[in-house]
Amino acid sequence: MILHGLPPLIAPNTRVLILGSFPGVKSLETQQYYGHPQNNFWKLVFSIILPDRRQEICASSYEIRSKLLIESSIGCWDVYASCEREGSLDSAIRNAQLNDLASLKKRCPKLQAIAHNGGESYSHAKHTEALGLPIYKLPSSSPANASWSFERKLAAWQEALLPHIELTSQEKNAKSAKGTQKSQKKPI
């Protein structure tokens, strides 16, 4: 049976696009990106853009999470538009059809970078490299990627995303204050 993916969560202000491979069973059932409760996608993203409100936001509706994602200049989509697959594992994907990745620069004129969420997505980096943007390979947010701790994944995601996203003015002020505190400390 042929499965069809989800429409992209993008806007003209999208600066960084996180590309997964294809939605899992739970995501397709709920029609929500990263719908499996043990997938760390939302926890990782909101640990970066709104760390003080991460728990509250992750517990909120998909509509609220999606809106905040887009407002933070982050987009979300998948490499594959459709495929055949039993279960949710990327290794079971067969007869996949790619999404129209070449159209991204027109659809997202402020796009600065592509971040591939996991190895299967990254295996198609040649298509995103053609856009002439920086490309990042993120450790998968999937619960199947148990060899990486949450903290290790978060550090890799921060390194890739932070240079390209627009934090809320509240977050900018908080990060600026932390930087000022650090710079005021003198070495012993």
Catalytic residues: 39
H helices of the chain, where?
A: 25-30, 41-49, 54-58, 62-71, 104-107, 119-122, 125-129, 150-161, 169-184
CA-CA distance, 31 to 23, in Å (whole number)? 9
Residues near 57 by beta carbon (within 8 Å), at least 6 away in sequence: 42, 46, 50, 64, 65, 68
| Distances, alpha carbon 112 to alpha carbons 69, 145, 178, in Å | 16, 27, 26
CA-CA distance, 47 to 69, in Å (whole number)? 12
Residues near 26 by beta carbon (within 8 Å), at least 6 away in sequence: 35, 36, 37, 88
CA-CA distance, 37 to 52, in Å (whole number)? 20
- Element (DSSP H or E) covering residue 85: none
CA-CA distance, 113 to 17, in Å (whole number)? 7
